[in-house]
Amino acid sequence: MQSNTPSRDTFSGKFGIIAAAAGSAIGLGNIWRFPYILGENGGGAFLLVYLLFVIMIGVPVMISELLIGRKAQLNVFGAFRKLAPGKPWFLIGVMGVGAAFLILGFYAVVAGWTLQYVYYSLTNALAGNTPDQMIQVFEGVQSTKGWSLFWTLLFMTGTAYIVSSGIEKGIEKYTKILMPLLVLIILVLNVRAITLDGAMAGLDFLFNPDFSKLNSDVILEALGQAFFSLSIGMGVIVTYGSYIKKNESLGGTALSVSLADTLIAVLAGVAIFPAAFAFGMAPNQGPGLVFVTLPNIFNQMAGGYFFGLLFFVLLSIAAFTSSISLLEVVVAYFTEELKLRRKQATWIAAGIMSLLAALCVFSDAAFGGFDYVSSNILLPIGGLLVVIFVGWIMDKNLPRLEIEADGKKARYYSGFRFIIKFLAPIAIALVFLNGLGWI
Ligand code: PFF
């Protein structure tokens, strides 16, 4: 009854869906990217704008993507082609598949660093380093291309292995174990961070907004970060939506996933900033925040070996469950549109992504470029087109029917409809054009 392709794999139930979708959303974006972007963009005020975007734009875009996927029962490309036959909306799918390649390109490199830091933590190689030596270690990790490539490829292989095993027996099975573990580890780190002497200054930086720090670049960064962190604007959620059974709640799923994602980002901030301030380290040191500041902190605190190891294991887990979803977007497209078998599709996609990742290992410009173009350009454009599609193009009754397919009335529907027809498209377009300096 669910689909026109009866053999299509699905998530077994609510917990599986949330684990997989939250697993996609919660990743390096929350723990590596969010704290350093917030640190570079002034702290508390960025957090407020970010939260506003998550609630007003993120959740409605996520519901829209879920309903497109579940209605069409197809990959992101096929979904738009099926729902708007003969029209160019399938280009959203093309863009999404392209964005998946770019994102996993640089993402796998950072994930490779996390594996490398798990190894350093295990072998206690960071113990006793001065802050300067810690910077040298991080620079060494980035400049020793051979090793960087090795860890990146190892990460890609692990990701491909899980995806090649399918939805229920692969993605769902692993995320169900990994996500609860992740929450547990981050809570332990929070307790450690806020009980340090001098933790208050960090909490102040994170929660006390200084609005003079806001400008159009910062606001575009916050929008880009919200899209990146929630995994929206590129088809991951459309693809996962297509594996959700009709009796599950789409609104509930979007809300739980967004809440969990935001909570983990804030908890990551609470783990990182109080510790950074307690040990007199700058909050705005960019991508090295996690890799330089934290090992310094671990070095100086009781139980540092244990907490350091836990932290980098946590980061790797988060990276795996997100990369799985990025690869799945492409694999779903390859299997359904190009008629490849899942294993074949997985290894071909992972092979191409590994080449892009290798490019990012060897070129900082490629690394930064892939990140900026995907987060601040492709994802907002994707999100904008998705809300326009659901608000203005789809048959008027379809979104409501799909959202209420679980048999429950969606009391929030008129608010949702207003946001996706007017508020979200206007807000995304304004922030986007303003951030690029076009208006
Ligand atoms: N949301 C992931 C994170 O925060 O790390 C990254 C990501 C996954 C972005 C999937 C986009 C995506 F489609």
pTM: 0.93
**Span from the CA of 198 to the centroid of ligand 1 (angstroms):** 33
**Span from the CA of 322 to the centroid of ligand 1 (angstroms):** 6
Residue 62 and residue 230: Cα distance in Å, rounded?
8
Q: Is the dihedral angle over the CA atoms 159, 165, 167, 168 positive or is it negative?
A: negative
Parse the chain into domains and list their residue ranges: 14-435
Give the CA-trace dihedral at 22, 100, 166, 358, to 10 degrees: -110
Residue 159 and residue 12: Cα distance in Å, rounded?
21
Residue 225 and residue 218: Cα distance in Å, rounded?
10
- Expressed in percent and rounded to 5, the helix, strand and coil fractions of the chain are 80, 0, 20
**Span from the CA of 392 to the centroid of ligand 1 (angstroms):** 27
Residue bearing tokens 């399938």: 90
Report which ligand 1 atom has the smallest distance to the Cα of 379: 11
User: What would the pLDDT profile of 349-401 be if each residue is shown by its tens digit?
Assistant: 999 999 999 999 999 999 999 999 999 999 999 999 999 999 999 999 999 99
Residue 181 and residue 176: Cα distance in Å, rounded?
9
Contact, 387 vs 424, CB < 8 A?
yes
Report which ligand 1 atom has the smallest distance to the Cα of 100: 13
**Span from the CA of 407 to the centroid of ligand 1 (angstroms):** 31
Give the CA-trace dihedral at 292, 303, 317, 194, to 10 degrees: -80
Q: Which residue did the predictor score with more confidence, 245 or 2?
A: 245
Radius of gyration of the chain (CA): 21
H or E element: which one contains 157?
helix 145-164
Report which ligand 1 atom has the smallest distance to the Cα of 325: 10
Residue 4 and residue 50: Cα distance in Å, rounded?
39
Residue bearing tokens 């640089």: 106
Residue 71 and residue 60: Cα distance in Å, rounded?
16
Q: Using 50, 70 and 90 to split pLDDT, how confident is the model at 170?
A: low
pLDDT above 50 for 6: no
Please tell me the total number of residues recorded for the chain in this structure. Answer: 439
Flag the least confident range among 225-234, 298-307, 401-410. 298-307
Report which ligand 1 atom has the smallest distance to the Cα of 234: 13
**Span from the CA of 22 to the centroid of ligand 1 (angstroms):** 10
H or E element: which one contains 400?
helix 398-403
Q: Which CATH class is domain 14-435?
A: mainly alpha
Question: Residue range 145-166: average pLDDT?
Answer: 94
